[in-house]
A and B are shown apart, each in its own frame.
Chain A
Amino acid sequence: MPPNESAVITQNLTKTYTSKIRNPEQRPSLFQLGKNRTVTAVKNLNLEIRRGELFGLLGRNGAGKTTLVKILCTLLPPDGGTARVNGFDVAKQQMQVKRSLGTIFSVGERGFFWRLTGFGNLEFYAAINNVPRRGRRERIMEVLDLVGMKDNAFEVFQKYSGGMKRKLALARALLPDPPILLLDEPTTGLDVVSSRNIRDFIRNDLVKKAGKTVLYTTHYIEEASQICDRVAILNKGQLTALDTPDALRGMAKKGEVLDIVAKNMSEAQVESLRGVDGITSLAAEVQDAMLGQTRLRLRLENVDTLPRIFDFFFREKIKIINFKQEEPTLEDAFIELTGAGISE
Chain B
Amino acid sequence: MTLLQELDKVYFFMKRDILSFSTYKTNILLSVLSAFFGALSYAFLGANALVQSVEASYHISYTTYLIIGLAFNTYLSQSLTLVQRTINPWSLEEVLVSPTGLVTFIVGSSLWGFIWSTGVIAIYLAVGVFAFGVVLTVNIVGTVLVVALGIATFIGFSMIGAGILILTKQGDPVTTVITIATNLFGNVMFPPQVMPAALQVISYFVPQYYFFTTIRQMLTGSTLLAILPDLLVLIIMCAVILPVGYLIYSWCLRTAKKNGTLSWF
> Interface of A with B (CB < 8 Å)?
15, 17-18, 28-32, 41, 67, 70, 73-77, 95, 98-99, 101, 103, 105, 107, 110-111, 113, 125, 128-130
Q: How far is the CB of A303 from chain B (nearest CB, A)?
A: 48
The answer to whether B19 has its CB under 8 Å from any CB of chain A is yes
In the complex, what residue of chain B is closest to A77 when comparing beta carbons?
B258
29 residue pairs from A and B, CB less than 8 Å apart: A17-B259, A28-B15, A28-B22, A29-B22, A41-B260, A74-B96, A75-B97, A75-B262, A77-B257, A95-B99, A98-B97, A98-B98, A98-B99, A99-B99, A103-B97, A105-B93, A105-B94, A107-B90, A110-B90, A110-B91, A111-B94, A111-B95, A125-B98, A128-B95, A128-B98, A128-B99, A129-B98, A129-B99, A129-B100
Question: Using Cβ atoms and an 8 Å threshold, which residues of chain A touch B28?
Answer: 30
Closest to A129 in B: B98
CB <8 Å contact, B96 and A75 = yes
Interface residues of B (CB under 8 A from A): 15, 18-19, 22-23, 25, 28, 90-91, 93-100, 108, 254, 257-260, 262
Interface pairs A-B: 10 shortest CB-CB: A111-B94, A110-B90, A98-B99, A111-B91, A128-B100, A128-B98, A73-B97, A129-B98, A99-B99, A30-B22
Q: Collect the chain A residues with CB atoms within 8 Å of residue B93's CB.
A: 75, 105, 110-111
> What is the CB-to-nearest-CB distance from A327 to chain B, in angstroms, rounded to a whole number?
40
The DSSP consensus for interface residues of chain B is helix
Main secondary structure on A side of the interface with B: loop
A28 neighbours in B (Cβ, 8 Å): 15, 18-19, 22
Task: Identify the interface centre among B25, B93, B99, B258: most chain A CB within 10 Å of its CB.
Answer: B99
C-alpha spacing A113/B86, complex, angstroms: 13
Q: Do B22 and A101 touch across chains, with their CB atoms under 8 A apart?
A: no
Q: A125–B108 Cα gap in the complex (Å)?
A: 13
By the criterion CB–CB under 8 Å, are A32 and B96 in contact?
no
Minimum Cβ distance to chain B for residue A116 (Å): 12
Chain B residues positioned under 8 Å from A70 (CB to CB): 260
Contacts beyond the supplied A70-B260, A77-B257: 16 A-B pairs with Cβ under 8 Å = A28-B22, A30-B28, A74-B96, A74-B97, A75-B262, A76-B258, A99-B99, A101-B97, A105-B93, A107-B90, A110-B90, A110-B91, A110-B93, A125-B98, A128-B95, A129-B100
Question: Given A28-B15, A32-B22, A18–B259 Cβ distance below 8 Å?
Answer: yes
User: Chain A: which residue is nearest B104 at the CB level?
Assistant: A128
CA distance A75 to B258 in the complex (A): 8
**Residues of the A chain whose Cβ atoms lie less than 8 Å from the Cβ of B99:** 95, 98-99, 128-130
A99 to B257, CA, bound (A): 19
Q: Report Cα–Cα, A70/B99, bound state, in Å.
A: 15
* Cβ-closest chain A residue relative to B92: A111
Q: Give A333 to B19 CA distance when docked, in angstroms.
A: 43
Q: Is the CB of B257 within 8 A of A111?
A: no
Q: How far is the CA of A103 from the CA of B96 in the complex (A)?
A: 11
Which residues of chain B have C-beta atoms less than 8 A from A76's C-beta? 257-258, 260
- B residues less than 8 Å from A30 (CB atoms): 22, 25, 28
Q: How far is the CB of A64 from chain B (nearest CB, A)?
A: 11
- Please name the residue on chain A nearest to B96 by beta carbon: A75
Q: Give every chain A residue within 8 A of B90 (Cβ-Cβ).
A: 107, 110-111
A67 touching B260 in the complex, CB below 8 Å, given contacts A75-B97, A128-B95: yes
B-side contacts of A103, CB under 8 Å: 97
* Chain A residues within an 8 Å CB radius of B260: 15, 17, 41, 67, 70, 76
Shortest C-beta distance, A158 to chain B (Å), equals 14
Nearest CB on A from B210, distance (A): 36
Q: In the complex, what distance in Å separates the CA atom of A130 from the CA atom of B259?
A: 29
* Min CB–CB distance A128 → chain B (angstroms): 5
CA distance A103 to B108 in the complex (A): 22
CB-CB under 8 A from A77, the residues of chain B are: 254, 257-258
